[in-house]
């Protein structure tokens, strides 16, 4: 998988995080929805950090499988 693939995945994660952030004003802290919102946001942030590492270091994690 090349660098442009990872950039595309990073952009997709960013778009999902922006949609999730747009829903923040309508949820109430302490509810089940808030917990799910927080877990989804944490998952996207961790994924974006890992993919950002792939892009920055130009590392292809799938190369050993070829």
Its pTM stands at 0.81
pLDDT value, residue 32: 94
pLDDT digit string (tens) for 22-56?
999 999 999 999 999 999 999 999 999 999 998 99
More confident residue, 10 or 54: 10
Here the tokens at position 35 are 């917990």
Tokens 């994924």 — which residue?
Answer: 47
- Going from the C-alpha of 31 to that of each of 13, 37, 41, the distances in angstroms are 25, 10, 16
Question: Does the pLDDT of residue 18 top 70, yes or no?
Answer: yes
Query: CA-CA distance, 63 to 53, in Å (whole number)?
Result: 16
pLDDT value, residue 36: 95
**Model confidence at 1, in pLDDT bands (50, 70, 90)?**
low
CB of 41 closer than 8 Å to CB of 20: yes
């Amino acid at each position: 998988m090349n660098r442009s693939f990872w950039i595309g995945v990073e952009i997709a994660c960013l778009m999902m995080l922006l949609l999730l952030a747009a829903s923040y004003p309508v949820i109430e802290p302490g509810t089940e929805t808030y917990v799910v919102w927080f877990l989804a946001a944490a998952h996207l942030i961790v994924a974006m950090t890992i993919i950002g590492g792939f892009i920055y270091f130009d590392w292809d994690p799938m190369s050993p499988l070829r």
